[in-house]
Amino acid sequence: MDYEDIEYLLFTVKQSKKSIYDVGIDLKEREFRIETTDLYGHIQGTQADGKIRRSSVKKFLSSLNDLDFLSWPQLEQGILPLDLKNATVMYNIEGSMQYTTGNNKKDLAKLHKTIEQLVGTTFGTYEYYE
């Protein structure tokens, strides 16, 4: 597997004890969508979406390489943690879905920051990484 093979990434991060941010990034179409939901998946508030520059996608993939993202431990496929402690990542490579909660909180916080730079806006909170 190579970083350029990642087609889609969904970053789910805790906003509060009762809400989360879902940040979906389509790396092939170079688009993103940010939604705030409650813990049951009901959308709260407005959605944000936009396009991503090709150069920004390349920089993002390079950042994933720097984080050694593809070596992060995988969760059992299709199983997301019921008690989200900070963040979780789902990504698609060649039609295969992968799930991870990262190596550690520090790596997840770095990925969070990298995604904020990619989409050009802040979201969620960093308090759950501490």
29-43, 83-97, 108-122: range with highest mean pLDDT: 108-122
Q: How far is CA 97 from CA 23, 61, 120, in A?
A: 16, 18, 26
Q: Where are the alpha helices (DSSP H) in 20-121?
A: 54-66, 105-119
What gap in Å lies between CA 118 and CA 53, rounded to an integer? 9
Residues 6+ apart with CB under 8 A from 91: 6, 8, 9, 10, 97, 98, 100
Higher-pLDDT residue of 74, 92: 92
The answer to whether residues 18 and 39 touch, using CB atoms and an 8 Å cutoff, is: yes
Give domain limits for the chain: 3-124
pLDDT for the residue numbered 83 = 62
What gap in Å lies between CA 7 and CA 16, rounded to an integer? 29
pLDDT for the residue numbered 14 = 85
pLDDT in tens, 57-88: 999 999 999 999 999 998 876 555 556 778 88
pLDDT for the residue numbered 126 = 86
What number does CATH give the domain 3-124?
3.30.1560
What gap in Å lies between CA 52 and CA 96, rounded to an integer? 23
Does 22 have pLDDT greater than 60?
A: yes
pTM for the model stands at: 0.89
Backbone angles phi, psi at 68, to 5 degrees: 55, 40
The percent of residues in the chain predicted with pLDDT above 90, rounded, is 55
